[in-house]
Amino acid sequence: TRTPVTVTVTGAAGQIGYALLFRIASGHLLGADVPVRLRLLEIPQAVKAAEGTAMELDDCAFPLLSGIDIFDDAVRAFEGTNVALLVGARPRTKGMERGDLLEANGGIFKPQGEAINAGAADDVKVLVVGNPANTNALIAQQHAPDVPAERFTAMTRLDHNRALAQLSKKAGASVADIRRMTIWGNHSATQYPDLFHAEIAGRNAAETVNDQGWLENEFIPTVAKRGAAIIEARGASSAASAASAAIDHVHTWVNGTADGDWTSMAVVSDGSYGVPEGLISSFPVTTADGEWEIVQGLEIDDFSRARIDASVAELSEEREAVRKLGLI
């Protein structure tokens, strides 16, 4: 039998954690033939709740789940970890300014980056889900100098999947017929879902839909503000869909994109498409052999350029803000 892969999940007692852990343990993250060992990280007040979830995981008797350990200490939680899912974060509460939010999250992602640097496995792959995801990923990455920067990624796959769903509805096409969707920039309201390179059954999506009004006034804002719409409807933020996207992100990273297709991941920029080097920004990426590569050579028209630039400018401001706070 194969050696288990160690997966660390932070914020394990939260609502995304609750939707995520059962899918990891049942084999959806890494594959139906890959045993996993879970290491859960929570804050001390939530350890008991995480223990409850662990009891339920036991009760599922998943054949692939070879163990669960729970920690309230990041150093121990990331020991030997191969896949780190950084879900726990400090949410924005009433009266909190953006600087306060970045500072509170710096207090979480700096020590977690250091712990990954100190103890994770050599092949560690990191996905940051907790918001502000791109900048939290940047903070963690900056405190893990011995880990290759490309191992730190942030999640825009939920935005990507939301864009697939909206396009599929509009075009009356199956999600399975859509390829080459792209989310550019920040996982925030400034993100840019791009239909100009997407395809429906091999034909250009923007041309097939042929409705610039819908694209500008419905598609883009619906995708960008979907999180708020879910909160409005459900009375709680996206959880199962976020967990599903996290599964997709890692699964695609490990197992590769299909021929002729790509996905969206926020990854460390090498300067491609004018995105300043070092920012963790969403790009179209292909994956193979556990590594990602930014899709090169796409033509970016003025409409797309303006939107990519606006989202990337927000990321630059966030980087400046965390620099000023001494967090990187």
Residues assigned a catalytic role: 187
3-state SS, residue 73: coil
Binding to ligand NAX by residue 140, rule CB under 6 A? no
Identify which range of 25-33, 143-151, 238-246, 269-277 contacts ligand NAX by CB under 6 A. Answer: 238-246
| The one among 5, 7, 16, 140 contacting ligand NAX by CB under 6 A | 16
Residue 185 annotated as binding site: no
In the complex, minimum distance from the CB of residue 311 to ligand NAX, in angstroms, rounded to a whole number:
14
Binding to ligand NAX by residue 41, rule CB under 6 A? yes
Stretch 71-100: interaction string toward ligand NAX, x if CB under 6 A: ----------------xxx-x---------
Nearest to 279 by CA among 234, 327, 235, 319: 319
In the complex, minimum distance from the CB of residue 308 to ligand NAX, in angstroms, rounded to a whole number:
19
Binding to ligand NAX by residue 267, rule CB under 6 A? no
Do residues 106 and 325 touch, judged by C-beta distance below 8 A? yes
Binding to ligand NAX by residue 14, rule CB under 6 A? yes
Binding to ligand NAX by residue 263, rule CB under 6 A? no
Nearer to ligand NAX by Cβ, of 113 and 227: the residue is 227
Residue 15 annotated as binding site: yes
DSSP-assigned letter for residue 185? B
User: What are the φ and ψ backbone dihedral angles of 180, each rounded to 5 degrees?
Assistant: 60, 40
Tell how many helices (H) and how many strands (E) occur in the chain: 12, 14
DSSP-assigned letter for residue 259? T
Binding to ligand NAX by residue 133, rule CB under 6 A? yes
In the complex, minimum distance from the CB of residue 252 to ligand NAX, in angstroms, rounded to a whole number:
15
The distance from CA 153 to its chain's CA centroid, rounded to whole angstroms, is: 7
**How far, in Å, CA of 143 to CA of 138, rounded?**
9
How many other CB atoms are found less than 10 A from the CB of residue 99?
A: 12
**Residue nearest to ligand NAX as judged by C-beta position:** 14
Q: Is the peptide bond before 132 cis (omega within 30 degrees of 0)?
A: yes
**How far, in Å, CA of 322 to CA of 187, rounded?**
17
Residue 212 annotated as binding site: no
| The one among 42, 79, 194, 248 contacting ligand NAX by CB under 6 A | 42
Helix residue ranges per DSSP H, the chain: 15-25, 47-60, 74-77, 98-119, 133-142, 157-171, 205-209, 212-214, 220-224, 226-234, 240-255, 302-324
Binding to ligand NAX by residue 161, rule CB under 6 A? no
In the complex, minimum distance from the CB of residue 3 to ligand NAX, in angstroms, rounded to a whole number:
26
Do residues 221 and 229 touch, judged by C-beta distance below 8 A? no
| The one among 5, 46, 126, 223 contacting ligand NAX by CB under 6 A | 46
Nearer to ligand NAX by Cβ, of 13 and 36: the residue is 13
Which parts of this chain interact with ligand NAX (CB under 6 A)? 10-11, 13-17, 41-43, 46, 87-89, 91, 108, 129-131, 133, 155, 158, 187, 227, 237-239, 242
